[in-house]
Structure formats: C-alpha cells, structure tokens
Amino acid sequence: MDVDFILHAEHGVNASSFAARVSASTNSTLHAAVSGAVGALKGPAHGGAAEEVMKMSMEIGNPENAEEYARNKLDNRERIMGFGHRVYKAEDPRARHLRERSQALGEKRGDPRWFQILTHLSEDVMAPYRERGIYVNVDFYAGSIYHLLGIESDLFIPIFALGRVPGWSAQCIEQYENNILLRPRLHYIGEMDREYVPLEQR
C-alpha cells in the first residue's frame, strides 16, 4: 500500500487535480477544493478504472478465457479497461512497479490467477496495439492488488483518493501562493443569428 500511495500521490494536471486547482483559484477552502477533486475522481474514466479492470478480470475468470473475451469486446467496439493514457504513448512507468507487486502478492497469497489473466491480456491479446501507443496504465494492476489485500471493489476509489490527497493539497497550496482565477474559454461553434421565439410560442 505504501508503494501504491506513492505512485498515486501526484501525477500532473490530471482531471481531479485540475478540478482542485480550479476550486482553489476561486479562493475557496482547501477542504472544498479537495471535495471537488473527489467528485472528478469518482468518474470511471478517471478514478474508477481499477475497479473496472478487476470487474473485467472476474468476468474473464481464467487465463484461457482472456483472448476470447478481449476479441468479443474489440469486435463490438467496446473498451478493454486499463489500457491507454493521455500522457504516455509507451508503458506507464507506474504500471511497471505495480505489475511486480501484483505478481509477488498473487504468489504469496496462492492466487496467481488474476496476474495471469492480466499478463495474458497485456502480453498476448493487446500486444499489437502497442504500435498505436496503447499500453497498460497504472490502473491495470492496481485492482488485482487491492483485491488480493481483501479490499472490496467499492472501496477502490476511496483508496485512490487517500493516495491522491497529498498531491491535490500540494497543487492547491501552489495555486494559493501565486493565484489567478482559472477560467478557460470555450469557442462556440453552434448556429449563429438565431431568432428569439417567446416561450409561449415554442
């Protein structure tokens, strides 16, 4: 867990850290800014991926089922969780550390099945996608570690949040020290010069 918390503590301007900084830039309190970050982290496209990877592993059940499962997903244009990252076009360096610990923990607990499933997915099924810069990310092995530690899947995001609080706090402190209101602009590309229609005539 120490290694997991260190690897998750801080990771640049990810979605939840950006949410925290935006809140901090309004001179809101640190607690409020961290609460906003938790809201962003809750989304499956951000903090929920480890839980989805473990759910996927349980659906696969055994290593020999991994290839057929993945092929069905890909044929239906569905995502295989735990692959790809907005920043990395090579392997997420954090994943390497968790891969080693997932394997060691599985062997120690006498339950190497989850690591074997993940290894089969990453090394065999998804290997051709590396040419497109799609590699495993930190969430790919995190779920198996939490599961082997006896942590229920609905606690994966809270565990992630615990590890990320130091990073959020550091981002907010930095924002407070040299603050400017963060207000990105949006470029409207919709219809122009529309005629206003009174509500009762719509």
Q: Which residues belong to the active site?
A: 85, 139
Q: Cα 61 to the chain's mean position, in Å? A: 23
Instruction: Report how far apart the first and last C-alpha atoms of the chain are (Å, whole number).
Output: 58
Residue 82, Cβ neighbours under 10 Å: how many? 27
Q: In 3-state terms, what secondary structure has residue 136?
A: strand
Phi/psi at 183 (5° precision): -140, 85
Residues sharing a CB contact under 8 Å with residue 173, sequence separation 6 or more, in sequence order: 30
Are the beta carbons of 67 and 125 closer than 8 angstroms?
yes
